Amino acid sequence: MSKKKIIIINGPNLNLLGKREPEIYGHQTFEQYFEVLKDKYSDRVDLVYFQSNHEGFLIDKIHEIGFSYDGIVLNAGAFTHTSIALADAIAGVKTPVVEVHISNVHKREEFRHHSYISKNSIGIIIGFGLRGYDFAIQTYL
């Protein structure tokens, strides 16, 4: 049995996890958590991580891997609520996307209640902290 190829793509400001608003996002960096995920799934998944604060780089990465990977776990950060271009990028590729949000966006500001990318995702995981990424990976196994 071959390993699944899954990429986690994080958008703007998620490079600050562990430092940024720890009361919402916790104290662990994403890089630390990513090592936990890689260890947990090393026998079944080739897991890749990409982060950018630039919308175009996120779109380029989705285009690059969107026909060859088994899954995309996407936390688009604030672009979730603003980017029609990201929604179009997801719609334009074959690789299924699971949308992930660390916090419960529906308990936050009103503008965070709408997602442009949800309609093109196979599912949404909201409010389970970093564990949401783990849940998303399980979707593809």
Q: Please, which residues have CB within 8 angstroms of residue 12's CB and are 6 or more apart in sequence?
A: 52, 53, 54, 77, 78, 79
For residues 7 and 50, is the Cβ–Cβ distance under 8 A?
Answer: yes
From 33, 41, 69, 101, the catalytic residue? 101
Q: Is-catalytic flag, 101?
A: yes
From 25, 69, 116, 140, the catalytic residue? 25
Residue 18's CB: how many other CB atoms inside 10 A?
Answer: 15
90: nearest Cα among 114, 61, 132: 61
For residues 127 and 104, is the Cβ–Cβ distance under 8 A?
Answer: yes
Give the residue numbers annotated as catalytic, written as ranges: 25, 101
